[in-house]
Amino acid sequence: NAGVTQTPKFRVLKTGQSMTLLCAQDMNHEYMYWYRQDPGMGLRLIHYSVGEGTTAKGEVPDGYNVSRLKKQNFLLGLESAAPSQTSVYFCASSYFPRNGYTFGSGTRLTVV
């Protein structure tokens, strides 16, 4: 099994450009999450989903949108990228939070 797959792994954007990060999981997990991780800091939750067709805001949702049209995919969109969104983005999935999360390997995004 692939687990949690994130694409792309690296991306450089110009300020104002848009892009979509894709997270795919093959474990039939209900819960999916998007985090950002900045140098010297922990994981900050951007948005999450508790099932197909649902989304909810985390602690740092501004500037991001998400969609969960299919159970296995969770998309994170940046409509107008800003330098402050330069970060490493991690996707995670879980059958239920008390089962822990499985994380992807991350997407390193630089906005110039």
Partner 1 sequence: GESVGLHLPTLSVQEGDNSIINCAYSNSASDYFIWYKQESGKGPQFIIDIRSNMDKRQGQRVTVLLNKTVKHLSLQIAATQPGDSAVYFCAETGGGSEKLVFGKGTKLTVNP
What gap in Å lies between CA 91 and CA 111, rounded to an integer? 19
Residue among 4 and 21 whose Cβ is closer to partner 1: 4
Q: Counting beta carbons within 10 angstroms of the beta carbon of residue 44, is it exposed (0 to 12), middle (13 to 18) or buried (19 or more)?
A: middle
Residue among 58 and 77 whose Cβ is closer to partner 1: 58
Q: Counting beta carbons within 10 angstroms of the beta carbon of residue 73, is it exposed (0 to 12), middle (13 to 18) or buried (19 or more)?
A: middle
Count of residues touching partner 1 (by CB under 8 A) = 22
> Of the listed pieces 11-19, 20-28, 36-44, 67-75, which binds partner 1 according to CB under 8 A?
36-44
Which residues lie near partner 1 (CB under 8 A)? Answer: 4, 31, 33, 41-43, 45, 48, 50, 56, 58, 90, 92, 97-98, 100-106
